Amino acid sequence: MKYIILVLSAFFALNTVYPQDTSGVWFISEKNLMKTDTYLASKELKGRLSGSREYYKAAEFIASEFSKIGLKPLGNKNYFQNFKIEYNEITAPCKFALVENGKTIKNYELGKDFACRGFTGSGNFTAPVVFAGYGFSEEGYDDYAGLDVKGKVVMMFKQVPNWKNGDKNWNSSLRYRQDAAFKKGALGILFVSKPNDANPQKPIGSVMDGEGSYIESFPMLQIDISAADDFLKGSPYTLKELQTLIDSLKQPKPLELTTGAQLNINAIYEKERNTMNVVGMLEGETDEYIILGAHLDHVGGQADEIYYPGANDNASGSSAVLEIARTFVNSKIKPKRSIIFVLFSNEESGLNGANYFSENPPVPLEKVTAMLNMDCVGFGDSIHIGNGKSAPELWKITRGLDSLYTKQMVMHTWNGGGADATPFHQKGIPCLYFVTTNSYKHLHLPSDLPETLNRNLFEKITKLAYLTVLNVANGEYKRETVLP
């Protein structure tokens, strides 16, 4: 008896921080979250590039889990809401080297020294390299002034200047600058981060290149700053000095270089390819809905040599959504409002899945009480709930739950949606964006692996999202008027 009391009191001591009676929150464990995350981030699923065979596999996995727990399919005929996307897959071989006086001096490592940009074309050639600042050829500012780029590869900063061209803003689409370079006769582009930025971006996997055309014969890479400096050998400047010169004078500094680049880049392109959101519903008693979403896709792999696991981005959010769905079913809590669980596709190219869903909703959007989005919820040190300034009442609910149970939430928030919440916010639906603070150390790098995640925090933010959904499903909250 004494033993039982001891065990029981230890149990309650551990549990008193949560409403253990009916909430079911205890079903959520880091073990289950990590199990799903580890599978989604595995080599088998090769970075879940939207539209790839591996993405389909991930989507089928989620659909079969939805089916096991008994969610109602809300896709076209099953759990899948199909739609078309532009598709680009980087295949082998994928080589990039430094050439001097006709000799290959250095072979660079894919994933570390360089990565292919999404929507890269293919090309196998060796060509001289030129430096063209930010790669803009605009009225009043021309990075190409006096530079002959015909048959050459152009090295340029990936980011746009943080000053304006007169009163005009820069077009930040990489394809805009691709078009400019191509028109001038260039063979390809080497994008490099601005070295004077506080945390210059490493070469990342990305399929976000903005609006524009696809040029089949035009390779585009992002290279590391150290590699860029290799190409500047023999010129009077380092990359840092070039950025300082251009930014301080707000004047271009085009430069012929003595080095060349050897490129063997191969990519498959399809203008239209099928992909799908995965959508399931737990039916409630009223005609109102809550949407809980996360994007399932990531940025794939390159040349069968590397893949981007995306354990944090966004296997974590996907696992959390699945776990919350399971918890509702396991805890046998009947929600008053129905809960729609959705795993979006193609967030990485520009929120295509969330846009498609919000344009083709399976239920009337005016009946959606709230939308919660989970994106990058596994890495970091505290909990960040975004869009609180646009949906302050909803944010207060989560804040209250956090101060009672999870105690990890930072006060700072923002307005205007954020990632997959944005299209819903724009349609007047109160949204919250669940993310961990300082989440992006491994963002779009091969190192975004399950073993880097903060499991305890991952569990806590999932619990906080579950408690918020439960509160909105069965509580007093009414859809508030969204602030801009």
Q: Note the residues at the interface with Zn ion (CB under 5 A).
A: 313
- The residue among 323 and 347 lying less far from Zn ion, judged by its C-beta, is 347
Q: What is the distance of C-alpha 49 from the center of its chain?
A: 11
Looking from the CA of 388 toward its CB, the CA atoms found within 13 Å total 17
Q: Is the dihedral of CA 38, 40, 45, 46 positive or negative?
A: negative
- Closest CB to Zn ion among residues 121, 300: 300
Residue closer to Zn ion (CB basis): 435 or 464: 435
Q: Which is nearer to Zn ion, 310 or 430 (CB)?
A: 310
- The distance of closest approach from Cβ of residue 313 to Zn ion in the complex, given in angstroms and rounded to an integer, is 4
CB of 209 to Zn ion, least distance (A): 14
Residue 327, token pair as written in the block: 């918890």
E strand or H helix at 369: strand 368-374
Name which of 202 and 326 has its Cβ closer to Zn ion: 202
Closer Cβ to Zn ion, 152 or 442, answer by number: 442
Residue 419 Rama label (left phi>0; alpha psi -120 to 50; beta): left
CB of 348 to Zn ion, least distance (A): 5
Indicate the length of the chain as a whole number: 484
Instruction: In angstroms, give the least distance from the CB of 140 to Zn ion.
Output: 34
Nearest distance, CB of residue 149 and Zn ion, angstroms: 32
Kindly give the interhelix angle for 53-69 and 30-40, rounded to the nearest 10 degrees: 150
Which of 89/313 has CB closer to Zn ion? 313
Structure tokens at 50: 């939207």
Place of tokens 């990485």: 348
Shortest distance, position 87 Cβ to Zn ion, whole Å: 17
Residue number with CB closer to Zn ion (37 or 313): 313
Q: How far is the CB of 444 from Zn ion (least distance, A)?
A: 6
Compare residues 173 and 238 and give the one whose CB is closer to Zn ion. Answer: 173
DSSP string, 40-98: HTSGGGTT-BTTSHHHHHHHHHHHHHHHHHTPEE-SSSSSEEEEEEEEEEEEEEEEEEE
Which is nearer to Zn ion, 143 or 313 (by Cβ)? 313
Peptide bond into 314 cis (omega under 30): yes
Rounded to a whole number of angstroms, the minimum distance from the CB of residue 384 to Zn ion is 16
Q: Residue 51 CB, nearest distance to Zn ion (Å)?
A: 16
C-alpha to C-alpha distances, 259 to 113, 144, 204, 329, 454, nearest whole angstrom: 17, 18, 24, 62, 44
Closest distance of CB 439 from Zn ion, Å: 11
Nearest to 75 by CA among 62, 88, 87: 62
Pick the closest to residue 370 from 296, 459, 470 (CA basis): 470
How far is residue 316 from each of residues 120, 280, 294, 310, measured CA to CA in Å?
A: 28, 18, 9, 8
Q: What's the rounded Cα separation, in Å, for the pair 266 and 270?
A: 14
In whole angstroms, give the CA distance from residue 228 to residue 224.
6
Minimal CB distance to Zn ion: which residue? 313
Instruction: Tell me if 221 sits within 8 A of 265, measured CB to CB.
Output: yes
Tokens describing residue 95: 């080589």
